[in-house]
Amino acid sequence: GFADKGEYRHFMEKEIHEQPDAIAHTLSRYVDVDAGRFNTGDLLDWAHINRLLSTACGTAFYAGAIGKHWFEAHARLAVEIDVASEFRYRDPVIGPNDAALFISQSGETADTLAALRYCKAAGAKTLAVVNVAESSIAREADAIAQTQAGPEIGVASTKAFTAQLTALACLAIGAGRVRGVLTEADEARFVTELLEAPRLINAALASEPQIEAIAHRLTQVRDVLYLGRGVYHPLAMEGALKLKEISYIHAEGYAAGELKHGPIALIEEGTPVVVAAPYDALFEKTLSNMQEVAARGAEVILITDDKGASLAGDGAAHVVTMPDCPDLIRPIVAAAPIQLLAYHTASLKGTDVDQPRNLAKSVTVE
């Protein structure tokens, strides 16, 4: 059951391993497998909106930042992302053709709820991606897309994140159909691809023993840099967030292309740099950033797939390989090694992984 740890040492580890189910259950809600269709096309008036304002906190914010790529690529819908604590204080422009999306595991985060109320008062239609159906955000939004991750107990979010990504992918493809960007054949192909996600993330979890060995090394360091491009930029930020939350090691996520505008100054002999770069259209560019830090002595931990590993050359001290995946689900699968690295580093350090100091599962005060 969800309330006991079973064979695992921590809820976080258990929840990392529950991701194939969390994703499969979420998909079962938004996908009609036999018809090859998504049922997300009427959750908002996708055809008539010009812009989606996507707001959340913490890990849910990074899910939204990855989702932005999908709405833009597959639905040609402009998305603006904000952390909820900033959104309502800057007098944001909300037009008649804007809709607002809120992402929250708990559905109770005070800033996200306040942003939702702000958008409703401004007249925008609101859609919430929430894990807890009996929550304030779920109740107050005009429409909800519930994730089916089940109860998440570890303070650091894992399965809720990949379930959010899954729901966001389904929303973006549904929107793309309604907006006339995707054909029926495209939609059917995306159904097939998403249905592979539970199996592929399960395969990615098989690198756990190798990641644990790398984590031994990270327990010795003070700072870790995470780099990525495209969808792996938010994933790099999420990886850095996970590591600092539970291991108390300073970590920073950066767009790989911004490296030379600052963070490269931090690189010295032995600085650990996690490069999130499964093979995609941006792989070669990220690889060249990896080589730049490796040439300056960084100890690179490359998170890639089979194809990327075959092309990576020898700049990386450690190569963690996940299976090759279709474009759409690749960042979902890549979350697993990122989470495992943080988890094992913290676990080896002996921190209170499920209840890290100073953090709360649900931040219900501003």
Query: Where on the chain is the footprint of ligand G6P (CB under 6 A)?
Result: 57-60, 104-106, 109, 112, 155-157, 359, 361-363
Q: In degrees rounded to 5, what are phi and psi of residue 256?
A: -55, -35
DSSP state of 73: H
**Distance (Å, rounded) from C-alpha 160 to C-alpha 135?**
15
Closest approach, Cβ 122 to ligand G6P, in A, equals 21
Q: What Cα–Cα distance (Å) separates residue 249 from each residue in 88, 101, 211, 291?
A: 31, 32, 17, 24
Closest approach, Cβ 79 to ligand G6P, in A, equals 18
Closest approach, Cβ 13 to ligand G6P, in A, equals 15
Question: Which one, 47 or 359, has the nearer CB to ligand G6P?
Answer: 359
Using DSSP, state whether 19 is helix, strand or coil: helix
Closest approach, Cβ 34 to ligand G6P, in A, equals 32
**Distance (Å, rounded) from C-alpha 122 to C-alpha 124?**
6
DSSP state of 207: G
**Distance (Å, rounded) from C-alpha 176 to C-alpha 73?**
9
**Distance (Å, rounded) from C-alpha 225 to C-alpha 253?**
6
Amino acid type, 353: V
Question: Which one, 106 or 162, has the nearer CB to ligand G6P?
Answer: 106
Q: Are 130 and 105 in contact (CB under 8 A)?
A: yes
Determine how β-strand 250-255 pairs with β-strand 143-146: unpaired
Question: Which one, 116 or 320, has the nearer CB to ligand G6P?
Answer: 116
Closest approach, Cβ 332 to ligand G6P, in A, equals 16
Question: Which one, 305 or 354, has the nearer CB to ligand G6P?
Answer: 354
Closest approach, Cβ 175 to ligand G6P, in A, equals 22
Q: Nearest to residue 326, comparing CAs of 58, 99, 70?
A: 70
**Distance (Å, rounded) from C-alpha 286 to C-alpha 275?**
8
Question: Which one, 133 or 359, has the nearer CB to ligand G6P?
Answer: 359
Q: Are 340 and 211 in contact (CB under 8 A)?
A: yes
Closest approach, Cβ 136 to ligand G6P, in A, equals 11
Q: Alpha-carbon torsion 97, 70, 282, 340, what sign?
A: positive
Question: Which one, 176 or 356, has the nearer CB to ligand G6P?
Answer: 356
For ligand G6P, the nearest residue by Cβ is 58
Question: Which one, 317 or 363, has the nearer CB to ligand G6P?
Answer: 363
Alpha-carbon radius of gyration of the chain:
20
Closest approach, Cβ 222 to ligand G6P, in A, equals 23
Using DSSP, state whether 260 is helix, strand or coil: helix
**Distance (Å, rounded) from C-alpha 332 to C-alpha 231?**
10
Question: Which one, 290 or 336, has the nearer CB to ligand G6P?
Answer: 336
Closest approach, Cβ 5 to ligand G6P, in A, equals 18
Question: Which one, 272 or 331, has the nearer CB to ligand G6P?
Answer: 331
